[in-house]
Amino acid sequence: MKNSVAVYDTTLRDGSQGEGISYTVSDKLAIAMELDKAGIHYIEGGWPGSNPKDMEFFLKMSKRRLACAELVAFGSTRRPGIKASQDANLKAFLKSGVSCAALFGKTWDLHIRDVLKTTPEENLSMIRDSVSFLRGKGLAVFYDAEHFFDAYKANRDYALQCLLTARDAGASVLVLCDTNGGTLSSEVLRVVKEVKSLLKADIGIHCHNDGGLAVANSLAAVEAGAVMAQGTINGYGERCGNADLIPIIANLQLKMGVRCLPADKLKGLTRLSHFVSEISNMTIRNDQPYSGISAFAHKGGVHINAVMKNCATYEHIDPALVGNRRRMLLSELGGKTGILLRARDLEMDLTKNDPKTKKLLKLVQELEHKGYQFEAAEASFELLLQREIKKHEKFFELEGFRVVVERRQDGKITTEAIIKIKVKGSREYTAAEGDGPVNALDNALRKALRDFYPDLARMHLSDFKVRVLNEKDGTAAKVRVLIQSQDAGDTWNTIGVSENIIEASWQALSDSVEYKLLKDRSSRG
C-alpha cells in the first residue's frame, strides 16, 4: 500500500443540498454514526452559523462518542469590513463544540468583485483574520479554496496568494475546490502538481460532478499528491452532485494501492451506500459503480458461461471486497446455467439434467413469454424457485381483497382497500385507505401483518413502474408491474403481470413483502 489518504465526507452538508433531499436532525445523527462505523476520517456535519438545525445537530453530537471520525463544522471567512471576533459565522464554530473547522473563502477575482463587492486586498485579510481567529481558539482549520481551478486559470498569482495566506495563517490542509464541476482531469492533475510543488503544503481535493468527472478528478488529484479526498456518499449534492466517495475509496484502495480504510471496513461500502440512500429517501441506482445491484450482474449466456469458469473474464474486482455480490440474471438468454447458478447461491441442490431444472426452465420461458421479466425481478424469481422446489412455507395466504375508488362531486378522490388473509392460523380482515389503489393495498396488508411480523415496519416501496405489454389491445392490454423495495441494508425487485393492473400490482406487492420476511428469517438462521 502507498501512502494513505484522508477520507472527508460532506454528505450532511453538501449532500443535503441535492434536489429531493432534506435531512432531519435524527437523520443526520444516524448517518454520522454510520459514517464513523464505516471508518470515514472526517465528517462535515453542516454549517452551524446558517440554520438552527445544524447547530442542534452539533450540540447533540457533542454528547456522542465517535470511534474514529473527527466531526467538522463548515463556514465562511469573516464578512468584509468587520473583525473576525465580531463575525457571527466564526463565533458559531466555537458554539458548535468541534475541534476542527472547514473554512471556505474566495480565490477567484470574479467572485471577489461581483459577489463579495470588495477588493482583492480585503479578501486576503478576510482569509488571514478568519484562519488566525479559529487557530487562536484551538481549532484545526482546513481552508476550502472555493472555485480554485477557475481562479487559477483566470489569475494564477492571486489564487496562489490566497492559498499562501491561508497556509501562513495556520491552515493545515489547503483544499482545492472544483466548485463549478467543469474542470478536466488532465487540468486537475497538472494544477495540483504545480500547487503542491510551489506551496509545499498538504493539499485536499473537493470536486463537483457537472462534467461527469468528479470521481476521475478526485483520483487525478490524489495521483498528483493530494492527501485528502472530499465527497459524499452516492455522489449526492447540488446540481449534478459531488464526487461519489464509494468509487473513490474503492478505486484508491483496490486499484491505486492508496490506503483509505482498513480492509474489513472496505467490505461495508455497499451497505453504507444503501443505508445513506434509505435515510435520504432516494432510490438506489442499480448501475452505481461498486455498490449498485447491477454492478456485478451478468445476463448473456456467453458472459455467464465465462464467469462460471473464471470470474475475472467479466468482473474487474471480486464483488465481496466491497460487500456486494455476483448476480446471474434470469432470462431466456441464460438457459439452464442461470437457473443452476441462482439455485446454487440459494443452496438448492439442482443439477443440469435434473427434471426439476428442465421444468423450471420451461416455466421461466413460459412466464417470460407472458410478459414476466425475471432479470429485473430477482426477488420474485427466488420465491418462484422456493415454491417449485417445495421448500417454501407461506408467511401468509390471501383469501381475497377488494379495492374501492370513489370520486366525490367536489372532486376529492378516496381509495380504500379491504383484505382478507390467513396468517399463522389466524384469519385477518382489515381495511386501510391510501393515496391510490396500490398504496391502499400496501397499507391494508401491512396492517394485517404488523402484529405477526413487526420487522415489516423497516421496509418501504421505493419505486413503482408500469409497462403496457400489448398496446394494440388498448385499455384491455396486459401490463407488467415492477416494484422496488428497500430496507436499511438491501434493495430488491419484484414483478406482477396481468390484464388487471390491480392484480399485477398485488402480485409484485405480495412478493415484495414475502421476500422481506424470507430474507429476515434466513439472516436469523
Residue with cell string 492571486: 158
Asked if residue 443 lies in contact with residue 431, where contact means CB atoms within 8 angstroms, the answer is no
Q: What is the pLDDT of residues 380-417, one digit of tens each?
A: 888 888 887 766 778 999 999 999 998 888 888 989 99
For the chain, the structural domain boundaries read 6-261, 297-381, 397-523
Residue 151 confidence (pLDDT): 95
Looking at residue 283, the DSSP 8-state letter turns out to be: P
* Burial (Cβ within 10 Å: 0-12, 13-18, ≥19) of residue 338: buried
Residue 1 confidence (pLDDT): 47
The cell numbers describing 520, all together, are 429476515
Range among 208-217, 367-376, 422-431, 477-486 with highest mean pLDDT value: 208-217
Residue 471 confidence (pLDDT): 60
- The average pLDDT across 238-267 equals 95
Binning pLDDT at 50, 70 and 90, where does residue 61 land? very high
Instruction: Tell me which of 385 and 444 has the higher pLDDT.
Output: 444
Residue 478 confidence (pLDDT): 85
User: What is the β-pairing status of strands 327-328 and 397-407?
Assistant: unpaired
Average the pLDDT over each of 55-64, 231-240, 404-413, 445-454 and give the range with the smallest value.
Answer: 404-413
d(CA 19, CA 238) in angstroms, rounded, equals 7
Q: How high is the mean pLDDT of the chain?
A: 89
d(CA 492, CA 513) in angstroms, rounded, equals 10
d(CA 203, CA 460) in angstroms, rounded, equals 42
Q: Where are the alpha helices (DSSP H) in 155-184?
A: 156-169
Average the pLDDT over each of 57-66, 441-450, 476-485, 492-501 and give the range with the smallest value.
Answer: 476-485
Q: What is the pLDDT of residues 328-354, one digit of tens each?
A: 665 554 556 667 766 776 667 776 777
Number of helices (H), then strands (E), in the chain: 18, 16
Can you name the residues that pair with 106 across neighbouring β-strands?
Answer: 146
CATH of 6-261, one of 3.40.920.10, 2.40.30.170, 3.20.20.70, 3.40.190.10: 3.20.20.70
Q: How far apart are the first and last CA of the chain?
A: 38
Class of domain 397-523: alpha beta
- The average pLDDT across 38-51 equals 93
Residue 191 confidence (pLDDT): 98
d(CA 441, CA 258) in angstroms, rounded, equals 50
Binning pLDDT at 50, 70 and 90, where does residue 284 land? confident
